[in-house]
Structure 1
Amino acid sequence: MPELSVIVHGPNTQDHLTGLLASLCSPTALAASGTSPSPDIEVIVAAVGDWARETAERHTPDVQVLPLPDGTSDAAARVAGADLATGRWLHFVPAKDGLPPGGPRTVAEHLARLPDTVDVLLLDHVRSTWHSSGLPSPDGPLLVRAGRADLALDDCARLLRLTPLLGTRVLRAAFWRTHRTRLTAAGAPDGTPFDEPYAARAALLLADRVACLPRVAHEERRLRPAALPPVTPEQRYALVEHYEALLGLAGDRPAVHDVLYELMVGDCLRAFARGGMPEPVAREFFRRASLAAVRHRPEGHRNPVGLEGVRRSLLEEGAYTRYRALRAAHRTRRAAGSAARTGGRRLGTLLGDHHYRRALRRPVDPELAVFSAYWNRGVACNPAAIAAALAELAPWIHPVWVVTAHHAALLPPGTDHVVPGTRRYGEVLATAKYLVNNVNFPDTVVKRPDAVHLQTHHGTPLKRMGVDQMPFPAAARGLDFQALLERVDKWDYSLSGNSHTTRMWQRAYPSRHVSLDYGYPRNDVYYTAGADDVRAIRARLGIAPGRRAVLYAPTHRDYEAGWVPHLDLAALADRLGEETVLLVRGHYFYDGGAGTAGSTSPLTSLRRGGRGARIVDVSSYDPVEDLCLAADLLVTDYSSIMFDYANLDRPLVIHADDWDVYRQTRGVYFDLTAEAPGPVARTQEELTGILTTDAWRDASAAKARAVFRRRFCEYDDGRAAERVVRRVFLGQDEESLPPVLPLEERTPAPDPEEASS
């Protein structure tokens, strides 16, 4: 029988479960041999949903996996996990939280020394948020002061003031089995935000004896409130029910009752002060809290002096209107001071946005949609594909594109557009029903309640994105992550091409937006283009029939000032011969030329050297999808173009000469060199060897590509744009949308060889 059962439970929220299981199954968590889990510790994962199950199964046999359906509550998952446990003690760890390296072993060793009279071991913890980690909790000093290893709660009632986290309580298995019902359903409706705090405090109230271990053995990860589902009225009222049930468990124990009463009144007042409750809900919450405060008021209890005492007295009196007036007066005083400090700056901002602010008072136009792509560079990417489908399926909705003055001259004829800073620009942003972008609109854009913001993104993430860039200085340089998340909070929908992307967007952009797992509309063309299209594109690019076209598309590197060539293209072209043409696509961060702004393109000298027929700079050619359709194979490094190109089921080769530097400076979500879509070259010589033999298209390359396509081309089937328009613009429900075709039933566009036959 193991000493300790660690029961990890819940969904893989924002991918936190991945890190938790990695730490649990690391060598420091294993036995001294390093080859098998410690016999004193077992790990059970009550995995809620497919993502949690898949994540947990990667760690078998070190963990036991109990799959549970999506929507299973934390309380139900804890019960299910405990039913499988065989340890003498149970440690419940939410999947979103963490454990320090070696923490379970330290806990197990301490448990083995406890007397049989102890039911609950209390642990210290640290706190983490999206922007900080390892913050000390206030519990440490309280645990140290408690001192003894075996004590009754009545003798140390202040332990109820410990942060109510079940992860900081380790329960004797026999104790759990005896009180399971009272530790789960009673007092906190299953699934409410107060379910875990109720269980954490109920465990102390029900225990005969408790012990303390003032060592950090748990990490509480606090999710952004903006990433959590809206709190329902019933969930708000459950806070009062939570405390009334706990006070019922306290029974005739004056010291315990007094502490719980103080906690209840303080928590209710804080919940009310935070606001966010609609008026009828706020009034009813105040009424219920007032009744509970009077009903459970200890005999001889006296409120503190000062403002806090006034608040508590008004609560006991049920004086809702006077309490609101007191809060309003206090807020007015604070707001006046703040306005005086920032008035000048805000006045300038408001004057600059005069037309936009005035337009915000006009009704939203349900037939107006604003589109933008790549920081206002023109009609491109997912927004362009959505706009095209919109013209076909909902032609009454008028699209307006936001473009810079420089890019306006390059727009397709007849494209209605606005330039940032103009009067009409502010008007359309203020009144459009739909705002579609593959990056973000400016911080000053207001999210109107009846407007719809669709974030389409512009790639599948290999590199770290959003708040995941914070630990990487080269990637995080100049980024304001708080401002970023405020922009993210305006999203209603976030588009995804595969479940990997969905999961990474959840962790990189923690907010409440709805994920549309529909595929990327820009990739529809890879299933709708025909042989005529492929031939026409190659003809425009000057690629003669029968010549092999290699598309080389390197990505941007945060640690380089501009495009630093990682290949000697002249030497490569010479080695590949006359029958191969290199299409070289520089990253769009370099302003359409394969070099930094204002600099000479590294390709210029090659063209002057007479190799123009074999090396073609297509950095300014749009759309990039045409280049993919024209190419026989793609050579890239870490660019997300590889995920799009994989839809064509054509050969891909990875040139990863600086992989170690790239992943250390930018951060990545998976090891591309181990999970590549084809052969991987670490040097130019290796790349040349691949391209001058059949290695680029042999059976091994095809097998790697098939695995890659199954993972990353999950939702792309040629109808992504239609699904987006029907769901977002026409309001159709999920069941009525075109289903995603299985991969084996899709037919990509013909490759150049097929198109020429």
Structure 2
Amino acid sequence: MPRFSVIVPVYKVQGFLRECLDSILTQSFADFEVIAVDDCSPDNCGTIIDEYAALDPRVTAVHLPENVGLGRARNAGVGHATGDYLLFLDSDDVYTPGALRAIDERLTVTDDPDVLVFDHVRMHWWGRSGRSLTADLLASAGTDTFDIPSSPQYLRLFLVAWNKAYRRDFFTGHGFTYRPGLYEDAPVTYQALVCARRIACLDRVCVEYRQRRQGAITRTPGRSHFDIFPQYAALFAFLDEHPELAATRPLLFERMINHFLATMTLTERVLPEDRPAFYRKTVEFYRRYRPEGFTPPDDAYRARWRLVAGRVYPAFQTYALAKRLGGVSLRKKHELGKTTTGTIKRTLARTQRRRPRDPNLAVYSAFSHRGVLGDPAAIHHAARTLAPHIHAVWVVGPDDVRRLPKGIDYVTPDTPRYHQVMSRGTYFVSNVDWTPGLVKRPGQIHVHTHRGTPLAHMGVDLLGHPAATYHDDVRTMLRCADRWDYSLVSSPYAQQIWDRAFPCHFTSLPTGAPRNDVLVRGDRMRTAALRERLGIPDGNTVVLYAPVRRDHRTSYVPRLDLEHLVRELGPTFTVLVRLHPRDAQAPIRHLQMRDLQRHGLLLDVTDEPSVEDMMLASDALLTDYSSLMFDYANTNRPIIVHADDWAVYRAARGTYFDLPSAPPGHVSTTTEALTDLFASGAWQDERSAALRADFRRRFCTYEDGHAAARVVSQVMLGRDYPSSVIPQQDARQLHGLVRSSLPDSAR
């Protein structure tokens, strides 16, 4: 008997079905059966199901002789189920990696409850969105079990079939069946929840819920949405047959009327001409099923409840119209306020620009105002010692102020003092461009530190790569670069790239990257403190995994089977995962990593403010095409490149050289090959060291641990600082390397 029976009702989803079935069959937990029910689908779904059944004995194909609808197709699947637990998955949705293992582990911890509820994420056609609105409710349950009379708030959980695991003998023993028509989830979900003596929750996203652009019945308006009424009538008929559940009747009545009110106002469900009839049915159910002594809830629907009790649709319609007009009025008022505020701010800035510059004022920003970070932070710290007369002010976003170190003077964007500082400062240090609207005054000095040495195309070289410029305008980039006075570079290679990518009037300073000073010099005490803070066991080998963002993808897509990797590495390895900042909010980050982190298999350090700290704390870097490899080479620790999609990445983004031909260490293209590198010890062999040394000679030429001091001396104090020695042979090799990577027209 398998642990799970996964029932997949199938109808007109041939474009999504394979992805759905693959998401089940490739789960790391394998003790399950799949019952795919072909609801007499007119497309090729039946053939696809048979194909999977022929290839995998865990798949059972059920073909219905006629179309019976989603609910009764699920019922047919239940009739073939033999597992301990029933799970339902719609055939255009998918399970997230590791979902079944996580569900099994939570069921075991909670001693096999009647129902387990887990979380989901919506997957729109343009990309993924955030977690469900009840995520906090799921988290608050912990590993306890409960019932609805003692915890009625859990009736607010998402009303669908596919976010729950039902113990099969509980489900069939109560005779739960799905009815025909839409909203078939409602009766069964509520019946199961109020009958269950032990309910558990799993605070983990297990399902990606596809929001189809078209074809979804829930987004097709029409009279079919009146099916909601007989579904709830069936629920209350069930309550009539079970007087022992009478205490839950007021709770379910409240949920029912709120469901009606929410559905009626959705234009993608109830047509305007059908709303009077829908309203009358709502009033009818209100009168028929209202429990004696019931008090309407004090929530967002309270006013609508009163109108329903009054039974007059014109009054309800007037109220709804007033709410919409009120929303429009607020938007207009907000737009007017923004226009007025903008005029005031521009006037303030012009006034400040008439005042003299402050020769001892330096303005810093890093990563679009995220805090005291990166190269600007290293320059700031050096200036406090070498140029203490220069006052530093950081531009920091409101959400990041709380993370500032003590003693940092800061301004937030678009405040009066911000305009004062930006108008009167002399030195401007940043690793990203200042806002396009910034007016640079004569005598102001802009230092652009960049964010590492580039492998992928930048600036004008992005032209012809539409995926890479979808969110960035090259013309705007160049206008911002026109403000640069100095561009910091780490090697002749980097200088040639920046000069080509940004054909503007700036001076390249061969300083090295200030944030890399600590990587060049090393800091054992800081490294030990970091490992202790992160909870890394003594003696463990720490691997920092830092993948780059794929501009041709609308959302983060994992390139590694992290679960396989960390389990193969074993307990003596600790993997730190740091995603690109633009992927930090990707739901898949939470789906893939939260569960592995709970089990101590990896640490998600994406939100750690300092990437230099993560590099210091690690023994090796695992990356694909991230510019961190150029920084990490300064540690002289092993680097492994996982280049499974190099050809695609190079075509989509463009690169300045062929990384697999000139890597900083061993190169892998599959998760299996990568695990073999670690298992065999090759990741830190002599070849790895030789490749790294050659890479460091070519791309870290000016890195000597004194970059920050060099910038402060040359830019703020006007003094020369000894430069690193540049071997001429290496410089010539680099020139040839760069030339060979550029188009003929640029050579």
The alignment's TM-score, normalised by the length of structure 2, stands at 0.51
**Structure 2 residue 666 is matched with structure 1 residue 704:** no
Cα distance in 2 for partners of 1:585, 1:346 equals 40
**Structure 2 residue 730 is matched with structure 1 residue 737:** no
Q: How many residues align?
A: 391
Cα distance in 1 for partners of 2:382, 2:687 equals 38
Structure 2 gaps, min length 5: 1-337, 728-747
Q: 1:507 to 1:347 in 2, by over 3 A?
A: farther
How far the C-alpha of 1:596 sits from its partner, in A, is: 5.3
Cα distance in 2 for partners of 1:587, 1:530 equals 25
Equivalent residues of 2:703, 2:724 under 8 A apart: yes
Matched letter for residue 540 of structure 2 = R
For residue 579 of structure 1, what is the aligned residue in structure 2?
572
Say which of 566, 574, 594 aligns to 1:604: 594
How far the C-alpha of 1:706 sits from its partner, in A, is: 1.0
For residue 486 of structure 1, what is the aligned residue in structure 2?
479
How far the C-alpha of 1:352 sits from its partner, in A, is: 4.0
| Matched ranges for 1:3-42 at <5 A | none
For residue 400 of structure 2, what is the aligned residue in structure 1?
407
SS at match of 2:408: coil
**Structure 2 residue 630 is matched with structure 1 residue 643:** yes
SS at match of 1:436: strand
Say which of 561, 581, 597 aligns to 2:554: 561
Matched letter for residue 577 of structure 2 = V
Matched letter for residue 721 of structure 1 = A
Cα distance in 1 for partners of 2:612, 2:552 equals 28
Matched letter for residue 461 of structure 2 = D
Deviations for 1:262-285, whole angstroms, at most 9, x for unmatched residues? xxxxxxxxxxxxxxxxxxxxxxxx
Equivalent residues of 1:373, 1:383 under 8 A apart: yes
Q: 1:545 to 1:741 in 2, by over 3 A?
A: farther
Equivalent residues of 1:603, 1:617 under 8 A apart: yes
Equivalent residues of 1:494, 1:515 under 8 A apart: yes
Structure 1 gaps, min length 5: 1-344, 744-757
Cα distance in 1 for partners of 2:583, 2:350 equals 34
For residue 255 of structure 2, what is the aligned residue in structure 1?
none
Equivalent residues of 1:719, 1:738 under 8 A apart: no
Deviations for 1:640-670, whole angstroms, at most 9, x for unmatched residues? 1100000011110000111111000011000
SS at match of 2:435: coil
**Structure 2 residue 661 is matched with structure 1 residue 668:** no
SS at match of 1:473: coil
| Matched ranges for 1:587-626 at <5 A | 587-591=580-584, 595=586, 600=590, 602-608=592-598, 610=599, 612=600, 614-626=601-613
For residue 450 of structure 1, what is the aligned residue in structure 2?
443
How far the C-alpha of 1:567 sits from its partner, in A, is: 1.0
How far the C-alpha of 1:351 sits from its partner, in A, is: 4.5
How far the C-alpha of 1:529 sits from its partner, in A, is: 3.0
Matched letter for residue 543 of structure 1 = I
Cα distance in 2 for partners of 1:725, 1:645 equals 23
For residue 692 of structure 1, what is the aligned residue in structure 2?
679
Say which of 521, 526, 529 aligns to 2:519: 526
Cα distance in 2 for partners of 1:581, 1:478 equals 35
RMSD: 2.1
Equivalent residues of 2:446, 2:484 under 8 A apart: yes
SS at match of 1:629: helix
Cα distance in 2 for partners of 1:729, 1:664 equals 42
SS at match of 1:663: helix
Matched letter for residue 399 of structure 1 = A
SS at match of 2:590: coil
For residue 62 of structure 1, what is the aligned residue in structure 2?
none
**Structure 2 residue 422 is matched with structure 1 residue 438:** no
How far the C-alpha of 1:629 sits from its partner, in A, is: 1.3
SS at match of 2:542: strand
**Structure 2 residue 641 is matched with structure 1 residue 654:** yes
Cα distance in 2 for partners of 1:347, 1:604 equals 45
| Matched ranges for 1:39-78 at <5 A | none
**Structure 2 residue 531 is matched with structure 1 residue 538:** yes
The alignment's TM-score, normalised by the length of structure 1, stands at 0.50
Matched letter for residue 403 of structure 2 = L
Deviations for 1:497-552, whole angstroms, at most 9, x for unmatched residues? 11111000001110110000110000000133332222222212222221111110
| Matched ranges for 1:163-178 at <5 A | none
Cα distance in 1 for partners of 2:340, 2:538 equals 64
Equivalent residues of 1:556, 1:589 under 8 A apart: yes
Matched letter for residue 722 of structure 2 = P
How far the C-alpha of 1:731 sits from its partner, in A, is: 1.1
Say which of 687, 709, 726 aligns to 1:722: 709
Cα distance in 2 for partners of 1:442, 1:554 equals 28
Matched letter for residue 548 of structure 2 = T
Equivalent residues of 1:717, 1:741 under 8 A apart: no
Cα distance in 1 for partners of 2:410, 2:340 equals 29
Identical aligned residues as a percent: 45
Equivalent residues of 1:562, 1:596 under 8 A apart: no
Q: 1:524 to 1:741 in 2, by over 3 A?
A: farther
Cα distance in 1 for partners of 2:661, 2:481 equals 32
**Structure 2 residue 347 is matched with structure 1 residue 354:** yes
Deviations for 1:583-635, whole angstroms, at most 9, x for unmatched residues? 111111234x5x259x7353112234x2x2x3011111131111111111110
SS at match of 1:600: helix
Cα distance in 1 for partners of 2:565, 2:350 equals 56
Cα distance in 2 for partners of 1:622, 1:420 equals 20
Cα distance in 2 for partners of 1:466, 1:628 equals 27
